[in-house]
């Protein structure tokens, strides 16, 4: 659950969704962690945008 909350928070910040208000709570990430996560999401979005129609994107963990 902790990991899910962190990912959700990073995605909310990165995508410009609200991080305030009812049901949102405090950030589970510090400023450095948010910056790292947003940079990783930027790189992923660039890779995704670079695909031609019908191509796939594979991530190895």
Supply the pLDDT for residue 39: 97
- Does residue 61 surpass a pLDDT of 90? no
Q: How far is CA 12 from the centre of its chain?
A: 7
Helices 31-49/2-15 angle, 10° precision: 70
Rounded Cα–Cα distance for residues 61 and 56 (Å): 16
The tens digit of pLDDT for each residue in 3-59 reads: 999 999 999 999 999 988 887 788 999 999 999 999 999 999 999 999 999 999 998
**pLDDT at residue 59, rounded to an integer:** 87
In Å, what is the CA distance from 52 to each residue of 2, 17, 33?
Answer: 35, 28, 31
Per-residue pLDDT of 36-46, as tens digits, reads 999 999 999 99
């Amino acid at each position: 659950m902790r990991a899910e909350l962190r990912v959700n928070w990073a995605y909310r910040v990165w995508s410009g969704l609200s991080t305030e208000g009812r049901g949102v709570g405090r950030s589970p990430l510090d400023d450095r962690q948010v910056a790292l996560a947003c940079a990783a999401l930027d790189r992923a979005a660039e890779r995704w945008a670079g695909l031609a129609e019908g191509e796939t994107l594979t991530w190895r963990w």
